[in-house]
Structure 1
Amino acid sequence: MDFQPSAKGQDYLERVKAFMREHIEPVEKAYWDRIHAANHGGDWRRWEVPALMEELKAKARAEGLWNLFLPDAELGAGLSVLEYAPIAEQTGRSFMAPTVFNCNAPDTGNMELLWKYGSEAQKEQWLQPLLSGEIRSVFCMTEPDVASSDATNMQATALVEGDEVVLNGRKWWSSGIGDPHAKVAIFMAYTPDADKDRHHQHSMVLVPLDAPGVEIERMLPVFGDFDEPHGHGEVYFNNVRVPASNIIGGPGMGFEIAQGRLGPGRIHHCMRCLGGAEAALDLMIDRGMSRKAFGKELLNLGGNRERVAEARIAIDQARLLTLYAAWKIDRFGAAGAMSEISAIKVVAPNVLQQVVDDAIQIHGGSGVSRDTPLTGFFNHARSLRIADGPDEVHKHLIARIELSKRGYRK
């Protein structure tokens, strides 16, 4: 196996680095300071996306740095999962960059889902505006009243009635639903069918956020931060009716579609985690060598140099594992890389969390403020250990695969 980037992938990576260096890094802190200074908190109806974001998106699109995640040469960059992985890592150093390049979650996963499974009408109505960066989307899966780590627990329903599908239920941690540009949600819910097995009892439905009965009740803070102007909302679907043609892939196909959606998306998440870890390590070293205590640089006190070494080892190990998972997805599909995908989902957020924690310690009080991006990286790492399948679920899957190799099927 060979993880060396192709000439095409390397060209895109260098152009992304240059764009971030020239256009994003000089303005990022001021951008977020402006958003936080508005101090709207959970009042999501007052959230605004600064005009600078649209200006940067226009520049990125003009330079061909657009939809880099999509393996379609006409609609995106046509890069493989392995080719895109280093680009995702680079954008993970910034909280702005993924959106600037139209490579932000959950839109990337939703776009890949529509690209792969959507009907022509669904693609025209929703995929094209998403690919153009005109709108944003949401994925509504997690529910407040059940253990959502087991998706078969879903209580929300999507019941087909003639040429309509009727949606009822409550979802939360619906990321991006506070964004003023969010226009559509993919709602995953229970569609009972006695003739199908338990993994063909759920459907994914496209729901315009302005449909009657869609009630956004609140935004949920993460460690006190509302993540504006993006947000993570609690949403009530109260007898929402949409055309049955809004079901993606047909009734009962939700789980099958989800597996196709989650493989590449987890590569993106994990590589962005490693980009954040690299940024945190840079900050830790610069801070540790520029401040002195007890007559020595901070990094020359206690075991701080060992922490730097441990961070380097952990990041590089996690990167190799993630690139291996990407390599396997490209060759065998997500189904052929299940163990590796679960492994990186455990490893990468934990590496980011540990490196950021060490960087915060070196920074002292400033490390827990907004003077650096460390608190944002920590929030992301700790949240991602729960989101998209908690650590324990992924470890269980890895163990089950290992046991099956020895003939144990339970």
Structure 2
Amino acid sequence: MESLGRTGHGRPGCPVGHVELADRVADFVSSRVMPREQVLDAGGEPAAAAMRGLQREARREGLWALPLPAELGGQGVALPEHAHLAEAEGASDHGPVALGSAPLLDVLMLQRHGSDRVRREYPARITAGEMSACYAMTEPGVPGTDPPAVRTRAVQQGDGSWQISGRKWFTSGAAGADLVTVLARTDGLAGDREGLSLLLVPTSASGFRVVRELPVMGAGGQWEIEFDHVTVPADHLLGDRGKALAVASERLQLGRALRCLRWLGQAQRAFGLMRERAAERTGARGVLLGEQQLVQRHVFEALLAIRTTRPLVHEAVARIHAGDEAHVEVGLAKVAAARMLQQVADAAIQIHGAEGLGPGTPLPALFRTGRAARILDGPDELHMTSVARRVLRLR
């Protein structure tokens, strides 16, 4: 069983009543999910069958849908407590899906901003794992940092329904989704911040098409999709017409914080592998790697990066949970966590040598995630500029 790399410091800040639960989640991920990662990464029906099996096991062990609302069939663990669980489950990319917490953003968005029909038909089924949803915002040829420039359009018909045309890409999980929330222009001109709306589209609708998979540095899971005059009911508009950016901002804030927590879990995993390698492997002339000062420096710097990033991430989580302004905290956390994961994974690879580059460890995948994290969900430069302008009151 692969170690998650706990550093002997316990779980700082984790409420006493949730330490045991966090340990159970960590054990499930390390003993059940990680041994199946190669099958899950390969995709296809074997991966789907393996994931269904993991989800059944999570339900049997009372670990299913921990942060999702209790009234929808989840377990209602509050965000500050779930933050510690998210680190543990995020040590594997497949952990959130296996444990049923992955759809948290979609469920909350539909429950808060959907019509009566949307709230009645979808959130509980998504929570139960009967349906899956994805979110489509970024487009080919349009900077992801400039949502008002989107070209996808939705035109309201005489009967109140919407007809959507456009193309999106880097949409996570689109190939297997039952629903996709799409950002489209319903009013105004390109570049206007007003006039953008969110519409919920069943992927069974005529005119919806998965164009191609877009591997990210060799890893699958991202897709390009097309809407060719896709018609959806009037009551599948989420939130107010033309006010999508307010809903999108709410989703992005929480989504970025959750991803930072998962990156912490993955960095802790890489650190554990690095520590074990340094403590057990001998190098030239039979000297233990951990006895060499340059290796000790890698270990120190990696641990320092993890320990100094964690408070930033949890501060952002606390502000989001309290309903406070959190743009600065989320921006700091996102940049720090992405850099931290890349740094720790890189150091772990260095200490493993050539073995760290091959398929025998998860380190190449962890490094890839860290590198991609500095672009996806907003590049570092966007967050740095945004935070600086807010601090300097240049908004």
- The aligned counterpart of 2:18 is 9
* Displacement of 1:20: 3.4
Moved more, 234-243 or 347-356: 234-243
Gapped regions of structure 1 (runs ≥ 5): 41-45
Of the three residues 202, 215, 218, the one matched with 2:212 is 218
Shift of 1:124: 2.6
1:33 aligned to 2:38? yes
CA distance in 2, matches of 1:167, 1:15: 44
Q: Distance in 2 between matches of 1:348 and 1:232?
A: 21
Distance 2:147 2:29 in 1: 38
Which residue number corresponds to residue 248 of structure 2? 258
The TM-score with structure 1 as length reference comes to: 0.87
Q: Does 1:298 align with 2:295?
A: no
1:108–1:265 contact (8 Å) kept in structure 2: no
Distance 1:151 1:236 in 2: 17
Match of 1:116 in 2: 112
Q: CA deviation at 1:68?
A: 1.9
Q: TM-score, normalised by structure 2?
A: 0.90
Q: How many residues align?
A: 381
AA aligned opposite 2:317: A
SS at match of 1:192: coil
Task: Tell me: CA distance 1:346–1:8, structure 2 relative to 1, closer, same or farther (3 Å).
Answer: same
Residue 186 of structure 1 is matched in structure 2 by: 181
Q: Which residue of 1 aligns with 2:362?
A: 373
SS of equivalent residue, structure 1 residue 134: coil
In 1, Cα distance between equivalents of 2:219 and 2:73: 35
Residue 216 of structure 1 and its aligned partner are, at CA, apart by 0.9
- Aligned partner of 2:6 in structure 1 is none
By how many angstroms is 1:32 displaced? 2.9
Letter in 1 for 2:169: W
DSSP-derived class of the 2:193 partner: helix
Secondary structure of residue in 2 paired with 1:303: helix
The residue type equivalent to 2:51 in the other structure is M
CA drift at 1:127: 1.4
State the distance in 2 between where 1:331 and 1:361 align.
Answer: 41
Equivalent position SS for 2:108: helix
**Distance in 2 between residues matched to 1:289 and 1:138, nearest whole Å:** 42
Residue in 2 that maps onto 1:346: 335
Q: What residue number does 1:176 align with?
A: 173
Distance 1:7 1:297, change over 3 A: closer
* Cα deviation digits, residues 100-125 of structure 1 (max 9, x gap): 11112xx2211121122122211232
Q: Tell me, what secondary structure is at the counterpart of 1:49?
A: helix
Deviation at 1:19, TM superposition (A): 3.2
Residue by residue, what CA displacement relative to the aligned partner does 1:2-27 show, whole Å, maximum 9, x if unpaired?
A: x7333443343233234335543xxx
The one-letter code sitting in structure 1 at the alignment partner of 2:126 is L
Determine the structure 2 residue equivalent to 1:43: none
1:71 to partner: Cα distance: 5.3
Q: Secondary structure at the match of 1:149?
A: coil
- Counterpart of 2:301 in structure 1 is 310
Aligned residue number for residue 329 of structure 1: 320
Q: Quick one: distance in 2 between partners of 1:403 and 1:269?
A: 27
Which residue in the other structure is 2:274 paired with? 284
Partner of 1:144, secondary structure, is: coil
**Secondary structure at 2:378 match in 1:** coil
Alpha-carbon contact 1:71-1:81 (below 8 Å) kept: no
Q: Residue 92 of structure 1 contacts residue 273 of structure 1 at CA under 8 Å; is this kept in 2?
A: yes
Distance 2:29 2:40 in 1: 20
Match of 2:54 among 53, 56, 59: 56
Secondary structure of residue in 2 paired with 1:224: coil
Q: 1:207 aligned to 2:205?
A: no
| Stretch deviating more after TM superposition (71-80 or 197-206) | 71-80
- CA RMSD in angstroms, aligned pairs only: 2.1
Amino acid corresponding to residue 379 of structure 1 in structure 2 = R
CA contact (8 A) 1:47 1:178 kept: no
Contact 2:72 2:124 in 1 (8 A): no
User: Which of 82, 85, 95 is the equivalent residue of 1:84?
Assistant: 82
